[in-house]
Amino acid sequence: MTNDKKYLIVGLGNVGSEYTGTRHNYGFEVAHAFAQSLGADFKSERLGYVARASFKGRQIVILMPTTYMNLSGKAVKYWLANENVPVENCMVVFDDLDLPLGVFRIRPKGGGGSHNGITNIIEELGHSNVPRMRCGIGKDYAQGYQTEYVLGKFSSKELEIVDETIKRAVEALKSFVTAGMQRTMNQFNTVENESVKINQDKTQE
């Protein structure tokens, strides 16, 4: 029996010091900031680093899979079952090339697109009804250099935008576990629409 007061927040990334601070580890950064905001610490457990917290009557499990990106679904499937969390109470956070830097989009379901992590989660769960937060990293790379771009590190100017975006993402996650999907989308997806130009201007300064 699932617990409708329990939530699983998953940040996608790759373990290892060589991946720290890379665009592809955006999900890890959001998960880490979310845990910090709740005073929770990560411990190494099966298939991932796991932190546990409570917030306004909700139990929250925060997961950073250690399976590497392409096998993220194995960890998500295990922890959904292990913690008896309904899939609608799970939020997967990951980097997205199709959104500008400084923007994130929250959706209740969707395909995997070009992101191997979310694609593997869909494959493992057998459906695409997985709530997700797509964090924009932009497409500022030459043709054929997508891999180098996503595994590259943010510039100092980009990090200023990323830090501000992560703060808003943390607030959106708190909204998700307390106010629900629809209200969170209405509030935070709209806010992001208005912030795109501001963030783009920053990168051009």
In a domain, 61, yes or no: yes
pLDDT in tens, 110-143: 998 889 999 999 999 999 999 999 999 999 898 9
Please tell me the total count of domains within the chain: 1
Per cent of the chain over pLDDT 70 is 91
Render pLDDT for 89-108 as a digit per residue (tens, 0 to 9). 999 999 999 999 999 999 99
- Whether residue 166 is contained in a domain is answered as yes
Give me the pLDDT at residue 4, please. Answer: 85
Q: Note whether residue 143 is domain-resident.
A: yes
Please, which pLDDT band fits residue 38 given cuts at 50, 70 and 90?
very high
Residue 32 designated active-site: no
Asked, for residue 104, whether it belongs to a domain, the answer is: yes
User: Is 183 part of any domain?
Assistant: yes
- CA 103, 106, 109, 115 dihedral sign is positive
Residue 108 in any domain: the answer is yes
Residue 37 half-sphere exposure toward CB, CA atoms < 13 A: 18
Q: Is residue 129 part of a domain?
A: yes
Residue 1 lies in a domain: no
Which of 24, 32, 115, 127 is catalytic? The answer is 24
The domain of 20 spans 6-204
CATH number of the domain enclosing 190: 3.40.50.1470
